[in-house]
Amino acid sequence: MSKIGFIGLGIMGKPMSLNLLKAGHSLVVYDINQAAVEEVKQAGAEVGSSPKDVASKAKIIITMLPNSPQVKAVVLGANGVMEGAEKGSLVVDMSSIAPLVSREVAEALAVKGIRMLDAPVSGGQPKAIDGTMSIMVGGAQADFDEMVPIFKVLGGSYVLTGGIGAGNVTKLANQIIVAVNIAAVSEALVMATKAGVDPELVYKAIRGGLAGSTVLDAKAPLMMDRKFNPGFRINLHIKDLANVLETSHGIGVPLPLTAGVMEILQALKVDGLGECDHGAIVKFYEKLAQIEVKRTEA
Ligand code: NAD
């Protein structure tokens, strides 16, 4: 198995890189956070001195960074991946970024004969840890096929949804559904609680019906347990919805529900909750209704 470069060892990138090491791949890694680098080094990875250095040592380079500006800087910037990568290398950006930026980066890399896939994920930290993320991929079929053995280590599903940028369009669709769904769960549980019905019993009663969802199962228990540590941070969801709204407005698609949830997230950020899990959307409704969603004491 050839060496894989991995850049961005955060909440998602660290467990993903550890899973690749466990599966027997050799890795060369880089992050500006030295503590994260040290942890992955202890697990057996080689450490690169820059994105350029990583790219010069690996034919496949995975990036898992916060957003478009970081991906552009790491791939196209000074001492970046493009400077170090050979012709024929494959850059696989697994960050959630604007689809137009994926296309821009891919076009710049293509000038040097470097291939690219955009391959954002969903599932959050728990699925990154157990290697069962959903991976949404844009790019060429042959490049996707080459990555399948690696996607199998990281994900429970991996689907090529179109050309470059299609992975991130799919991820934006995913983020609309998740955001609006968490807001709906929050509205429902706040209403039930203030009406004097135990939210836990409401959850148990409805989860098997049409109102049931992966979001309901993942977030309702955390809301009732008052657990708002991330998970997926409100600030990151704001980033994704900004990418959603910019993309949708650019192509003439009004998104009134998404825009509404975006303003809820902005209000929570102003309240100092930007680093909380997006399940803290419930706190916005709790403030309006002057009630807290929690399990009734036994
Ligand atoms: P994170 O902030 O925890 O990790 C990002 C990492 O990138 C950090 O370790 C940071 O030090 C590093 N980094 C930033 N700038 C860098 C640079 N210039 N050079 C090298 N390293 C740099 O974020 P995360 O939660 O791991 O998310 C990563 C991506 O995955 C984001 O696009 C996010 O939207 C997406 N995502 C996150 C989740 C989740 O639940 N956390 C779920 C699905 C998708």
Consecutive 10-residue averages of pLDDT for the chain (298 residues): 94 97 98 98 98 98 97 98 98 98 98 98 93 98 98 98 98 98 98 97 98 97 96 95 97 98 98 98 98 85
Q: Which of 6, 7, 9, 11 to mutate to test the pocket of ligand 1 (most atoms within 8 A of CB)?
A: 11
The pLDDT of residue 153:
98
The two three-digit tokens of residue 196, written as one number = 């004097």
pTM flag (> 0.85) = yes
The pLDDT of residue 295:
87
Ligand 1 neighbourhood includes 232 CB (under 6 angstroms): yes
Ligand 1 centroid–CA 64 distance in Å is: 6
Q: Any catalytic annotation for residue 72?
A: no
Ligand 1 neighbourhood includes 12 CB (under 6 angstroms): yes
Ligand 1 neighbourhood includes 8 CB (under 6 angstroms): yes
**CA separation, residue 13 to residues 48, 92, 212 (Å):** 15, 13, 30
Residue 293 contacts residue 223 (beta carbons within 8 Å): yes
From CA 200, how far away is CA 142, in angstroms rounded?
48
Reference 238, options 67, 23, 118; nearest CA is 67
The pLDDT of residue 298:
57
Reference 96, options 159, 174, 43; nearest CA is 174
Ligand 1 neighbourhood includes 234 CB (under 6 angstroms): no
**Which of the following is catalytic: 52, 171, 219, 283?**
171
- Domains of the chain by range and CATH? 4-163 (3.40.50.720), 169-289 (1.10.1040.10)
Reference 93, options 185, 171, 194, 206; nearest CA is 171
